[in-house]
Amino acid sequence: MLKPCKKIFLFFSFFILPGFSLLAQQKIMTMDIDNVIDPRMNRYTELALDHATEIEADIVIIRMDTYGGAVNDADEIRTRILEYPKPIWVFINKNAASAGALISIACDSIYMAGGSSIGAATVVTQDGSTAPDKYQSYMRSIMRSTAEASGRDPRIAEAMVDEDIEIEGITEAGEVITFSTSEAIKYGFCEAEASSLEGVLAEASVENYTIEEFKLSGAEKIIRIFLNPVISGILILVILGGIYFELQTPGVGFPLLAAVTAAILYFVPYYLNGLAENWEIITFIVGIALLALEIFVIPGFGIAGIGGLVLTLGSLILVMLNNDVLDFSFVDSAEVFHAVAAILAGLLGSIILMFFGGVRLTNTRFFKNIALQSVQDSLEGYTSNFKEQSLLGKSGKAYTVLRPSGKVIIDNILYDASTRGDYIQKDEEILVVSEEGTSLKVRKKTEQDQS
């Protein structure tokens, strides 16, 4: 069933224009929905329809073969189809199940290959069980409204979702509707059977035409490469490793540049494909800020450090999953596994890089060009001791918390100091146990020291 405005367009295109000129060919653009309906497919359809508009295609034909996918992405795709000003047809070659059925019903005309099916649009969770009624109700609503907009029976469309709906002569209570090709033709959910794209055009009496197949640009293909969990894991390794090395050698710049570049390559593809939300990216930035706060402002590893690590790694995982603000009802368990595995692999790789790569880095020509390699030995007269007399054995107090580094006060003078791993609270008495350059090694003063 066609919407009135599109009927007028087709009548004008097929009967009036040919009378004026035999050279006026119909421009057909084809696109494929042959995989799971997810943010990537959502973006693909958006790019495809933008391209159809750009080339001024007269008709868009979708080649459909999918078992469904995410309801929210399917809803955006069907809305885009309903609002598109030119006719959009769908050629179902085997399957248009669940979300695929919703998208198909949104099209102006439906054609099906022999042995194909359409329907079974009940919403299920990642483990295959029926989703809560609020999701079923939403799916029933958009199936019904979509059928009404495209001139098809809304009751039948709704029965593709709800097994409790009984339609005499079509379905009994306890089963959802799934139409074969012949059944879809009989009940107005398919215009005709066709064995190929050319067969579709023949059934629609389109004779003078050119076909252009939509293909993703090179940039979009590269973006899809970066959505691969393996590539994501490598980028995570560079992000964490780059941040670590920059913190270890502040001012070098190269590790930080590598980390920023990797973060852009990680987040941008997911953002463009609708997976990375603004709040997930903000969570990552907050996590990095907390880690920097823990390292530079409050040395040690307390609440800020733990919180920063959790937020950073958590955001990297969430970006890869199509969750609805921590609602994972429609996130496949395999996707969760792949996301967590990629993060853990990246984290493990970055740890290995920190311990073993750091040693190799110091021996590279690049590192030798940016770091001081000579040693100013005390035997040659070099010294960093600015104190007029030794403070070894002196007592004082912790001016800040030492965990393990901080400041101490001795004879009303502040000194940089650190422990050998112990934490010392502010104002606790300390004892200098060694002098190392401009810093002091201290420990907590005990009763034995006082005696």
Res. 157 pLDDT band, cuts 50 70 90: very high
Rounded CA gap, 87 and 2, in Å?
9
Encoded tokens for 110: 């439906």
Does residue 349 sit in helix, strand or coil? helix
Interhelix angle 39-54/71-83, rounded to 10 degrees, is 10
Res. 183 pLDDT band, cuts 50 70 90: very high
Look at residue 360 and tell me whether its pLDDT is greater than 60.
Answer: no
- The fold of 385-450 is OB fold (Dihydrolipoamide Acetyltransferase, E2P) (2.40.50)
Rounded CA gap, 433 and 440, in Å?
8
Distance (Å) of CA 82 to CA 49, 76, 123, 172, 350: 12, 10, 22, 30, 47
pLDDT at 52: 96
pTM over 0.75: no
CATH of 4-215, one of 3.40.710.10, 3.40.47.10, 3.90.226.10, 3.20.20.70: 3.90.226.10
| Chain region(s) in the chain for CATH 3.90.226.10 | 4-215
pLDDT, tens digit, 9 for 90 and up, residues 313-334: 888 888 877 776 777 666 666 6
pLDDT at 93: 93
How would you classify the pairing of strands 413-418 and 439-444? Answer: parallel
For 331-449, where are the E strands, in sequence order? 395-398, 405-410, 413-418, 429-436, 439-444
Rounded CA gap, 41 and 353, in Å?
36
| Chain region(s) in the chain for CATH 2.40.50.140 | 385-450
Look at residue 370 and tell me whether its pLDDT is greater than 60.
Answer: no
Decide: 273 and 267 in contact? Cβ < 8 Å.
no
